[in-house]
């Protein structure tokens, strides 16, 4: 495991609406911890279109939700909590573990692996999730508009994402090479057996 892997998301998607129930079921995920800024709402507090239906559909299938945000604006978290009827943790201090474990306790889920963390920042959401052994899902920010501290993080995140995709491509190539090597060995052995049988028959004649 390289140093950078702690910063790598398990999954990188466009936005939360790309998270489907079948995917959650296949990965044994029972709960989602959702970031607020640039994940659910943009910098100007506009809600992601289609979010309400997405939350309701997953809630009907017994997926649990909790808002997990570093915001110091309690009212912001509380308003979204009331709108979707889900609990919230504000001042979460991500990537530190405290907020993640508080959300886990609220949802009453024992196994961290059954929880996915969804957010737009590697340095807070992804790093914190990976430190807690939760499933990390990185979303593309709704808008390219951030507070000053986040802008600094974005510079670092670009470098991490570049390496993430580079490593991902390398793993894919290694997998393909391994697959073709197995085919080569199989056919080589198969051809060797065929040739051996043919030689044996010729010797008999």
Residues 132-169: tens digit of each pLDDT: 999 999 999 998 766 667 777 788 899 999 999 998 88
Does some domain include residue 103?
Answer: yes
CATH classification of the domain holding 94: 3.40.50.1000
Number of compact structural domains in the chain: 1
Does some domain include residue 167?
Answer: no
Q: How would you label 68-83 residue by residue, b for 16+ Cβ within 10 Å and e otherwise?
A: bbbbeeeebbeebbee
Put the strands of the sheet holding 135-139 in their side by side order: 11-13, 135-139, 115-119, 31-34, 64-68, 88-89
Task: List the domain range (segments joined by +) for residue 102.
Answer: 3-145
Does some domain include residue 185?
Answer: no
Segments of the chain scoring below 70 in pLDDT: 1-2, 145-148, 171-205
Does some domain include residue 179?
Answer: no
Does some domain include residue 195?
Answer: no
Does some domain include residue 141?
Answer: yes
User: Can you give the pTM of this predicted structure?
Assistant: 0.81
Residues 116-128: tens digit of each pLDDT: 999 999 999 999 9
């Amino acid at each position: 495991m390289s140093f950078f892997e702690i910063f790598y998301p398990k999954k990188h998607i466009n936005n939360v609406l790309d998270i489907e129930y079948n995917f959650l079921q296949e990965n044994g995920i029972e709960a989602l911890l959702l970031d607020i800024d640039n994940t659910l709402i943009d910098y100007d507090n506009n809600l992601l279109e289609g979010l309400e239906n997405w939350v309701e559909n997953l809630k009907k299938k017994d997926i649990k939700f909790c808002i997990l945000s570093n915001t110091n604006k309690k009212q912001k978290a509380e308003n979204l909590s009331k709108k979707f009827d889900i609990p919230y943790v504000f001042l979460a201090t991500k990537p530190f573990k405290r907020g993640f474990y508080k959300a886990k306790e609220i949802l009453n889920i024992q196994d961290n692996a059954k929880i996915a963390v969804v957010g737009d920042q590697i340095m807070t959401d992804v790093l914190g999730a990976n430190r807690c052994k939760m499933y990390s899902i990185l979303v593309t920010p709704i808008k390219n508009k951030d507070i000053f501290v986040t802008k600094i993080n974005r510079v670092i995140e670009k470098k991490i994402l570049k390496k993430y995709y580079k490593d991902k491509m390398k793993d894919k190539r290694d997998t393909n090479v391994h697959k073709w090597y197995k085919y080569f060995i199989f056919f080589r052995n198969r051809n060797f057996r065929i040739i051996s049988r043919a030689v044996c028959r010729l010797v008999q004649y």
